[in-house]
């Protein structure tokens, strides 16, 4: 019987949760990197023993950790202070400035955008790690301030994909409430050159040539707070998810609005339907049903907790036309937690399992596609990310 390994990043360390395919009895290991913020951890789809972790501290900086034995032991491939000719300096401080346009690797005080204007760029942290779908040594990193890096040697060294910040729209990017972060990376399983990313607050972008050039894909997004609500860039996109069975179909949780694209992001339409509120951070798609999607709505952009204190996941089986609340096993009174953008995931088992974690430290599982929920663990530090590996 297949097994699952759930990787949980929290404000105070990382945890590894394992169970068999029934997903009832769980072993909990951790905390790893206790006391450090673990913004994201994710396993390789190619090598089930390979896991990458973003370990961050305001005092000690940013370190990428890697495990080659399923989370039993860890190492920092680049050492305590990771550097490469075109990569970021990491380890001693999280407030480096790096000149990528000159490709010298020397810290500077400004970054020269390709349009010739000067804009400061600081490396603060790694928000998201996305291992390659085909190569266990390759991994992408989305960082703050917003940029995309790539490692081909198991996180020993990093190179920026400079076409993104060289696109020319960079001066119009603005930080969201959490910073100007590249927080979402989606790889197309049918097209190795196609990558989607999302930046808060700039919007969504796509490359079709492995990162050499990028195009904004924000047509159909409307953001009333912007001077031009339908502008090419500047939208606050919280998360993007792809249907594993239909890669051209994308779903987006925007600052407000749930959106859908059927043409690889070239255009979007709203599918918030009958949701009680369409504000939230997370969105995900069923592993086997392209039209089945999940969100975790919260009250508003100023009140980051569930409406009426009821923790609910909402599911649409029609691609967003109609929604239903999934509440069995979730607290329905006096619950004021949040579900952050990387804190929901799905496994690939036949009975698709759904997982999410909360800022209250709970991690929940539904082994039946959301119909019933049970807590795997309670009282962890605030959960920042939840990812799952389906194991043989």
Q: What is the CATH number of the domain that holds 175?
A: 2.130.10.10
pLDDT at position 60, please?
82
pLDDT at position 91, please?
36
Joined together, the tokens standing for residue 381 give 């530090």
CA 364, CA 313: separation in Å to the nearest integer? 11
Q: Which residues pair with 20 in a beta bridge?
A: 3
Q: CB of 363 within 8 A of CB of 344?
A: no
Averaged pLDDT of the chain: 89
CA 206, CA 69: separation in Å to the nearest integer? 33
pLDDT band at 133 (very low <50, low <70, confident <90, very high): very high
CA distances from 106 to 101, 109, 121, 165 (A): 11, 10, 13, 18
pLDDT at position 200, please?
93
Question: Please, is 260 exposed, middle or buried when counting C-beta atoms within 10 Å of its C-beta (0-12, 13-18, 19+)?
Answer: buried
Instruction: Pick 360 or 97 by higher pLDDT.
Output: 360
* Residue 95, pLDDT above cutoff 70: no
Q: Is the peptide bond before 140 cis (omega within 30 degrees of 0)?
A: no
pLDDT at position 103, please?
40
Backbone phi, psi, residue 328, to 5°? -65, 115
- Work out how many domains the chain is built from and give that number: 1
Please give the radius of gyration of the chain, using alpha carbons only, rounded to the nearest integer.
20
pLDDT at position 112, please?
38
Average pLDDT over residues 210-219: 96
Supply the pTM of this predicted model: 0.91
- Give the helix/strand (H/E) hosting 345: strand 344-346
Average pLDDT over residues 315-337: 97
Q: SS3 for 115?
A: coil
Instruction: Pick 192 or 112 by higher pLDDT.
Output: 192
- Following CA atoms 121, 143, 77, 110 in sequence, which dihedral angle do they give, to the nearest 10 degrees? -10
pLDDT at position 80, please?
53
Q: CB of 306 within 8 A of CB of 312?
A: yes
pLDDT at position 89, please?
43
Average pLDDT over residues 352-378: 98
* Residue 98, pLDDT above cutoff 60: no
Percentages helix, strand, coil for the chain, rounded to the nearest 5? Answer: 0, 40, 55
Q: SS3 for 309?
A: helix
Residue 147 CB partners (closer than 8 Å, separation 6+): 100, 121, 160, 164, 165, 182
Average pLDDT over residues 359-388: 98
Joined together, the tokens standing for residue 146 give 């917003």
Q: CB of 104 within 8 A of CB of 97?
A: no
pLDDT at position 119, please?
56
| pLDDT digit string, tens, across residues 5-34 | 999 999 999 999 999 999 999 999 999 999
Nearest to 236 by CA among 265, 202, 186, 281: 202
Which residues constitute the domain of residue 91?
A: 3-391
């Amino acid at each position: 019987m297949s097994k699952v390994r759930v990787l949980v990043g929290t404000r105070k360390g990382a945890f590894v949760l394992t169970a068999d395919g029934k997903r009832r009895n769980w072993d909990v290991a951790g905390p790893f990197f206790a006391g450090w913020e673990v913004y994201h951890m994710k396993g390789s789809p190619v090598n089930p023993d390979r896991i990458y972790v973003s370990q961050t501290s305001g005092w000690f900086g940013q370190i990428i950790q890697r495990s080659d034995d399923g989370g039993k032991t860890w190492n920092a491939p680049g050492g305590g202070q990771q550097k490469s000719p075109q990569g970021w300096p990491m380890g001693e401080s999280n407030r480096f400035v790096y000149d990528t346009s000159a490709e010298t690797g020397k810290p500077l005080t400004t970054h020269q955008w390709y349009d010739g204007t000067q804009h400061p760029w600081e490396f603060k942290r790694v928000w998201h790690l996305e291992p390659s779908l085909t190569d266990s040594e390759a991994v992408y990193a989305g960082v703050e301030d917003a940029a995309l890096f790539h490692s081909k040697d198991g996180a020993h060294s990093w190179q920026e994909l400079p076409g993104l910040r060289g696109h020319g729209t960079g001066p119009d990017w603005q930080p969201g409430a959490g910073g100007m972060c590249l927080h979402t990376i989606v790889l197309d399983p049918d097209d190795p050159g196609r990558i989607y990313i999302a930046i808060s607050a700039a919007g969504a972008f796509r490359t079709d040539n492995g990162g050499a050039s990028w195009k904004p894909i924000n047509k159909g997004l409307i953001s009333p707070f912007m001077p031009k609500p339908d502008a090419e860039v500047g939208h606050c996109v919280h998360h993007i998810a792809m249907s594993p069975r239909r890669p051209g179909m994308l779903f987006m949780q925007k600052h407000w609005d749930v959106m859908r694209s059927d043409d690889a992001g070239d255009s979007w339409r709203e599918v918030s339907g009958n949701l009680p509120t369409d504000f939230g951070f997370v969105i995900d798609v069923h592993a086997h049903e392209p039209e089945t999607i999940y969100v975790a709505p919260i009250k508003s952009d100023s009140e980051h907790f569930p409406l009426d204190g009821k923790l609910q996941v909402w599911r649409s089986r029609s691609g967003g036309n109609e929604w239903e609340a999934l509440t069995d096993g979730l607290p329905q009174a006096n619950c004021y937690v949040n579900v952050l953008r990387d804190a929901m995931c799905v496994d690939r088992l036949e009975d698709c399992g759904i997982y999410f974690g909360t800022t209250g430290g709970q991690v929940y599982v539904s082994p039946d596609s959301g119909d019933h929920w049970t807590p795997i663990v309670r009282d962890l530090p605030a959960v920042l990310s939840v990812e799952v590996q389906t194991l043989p």
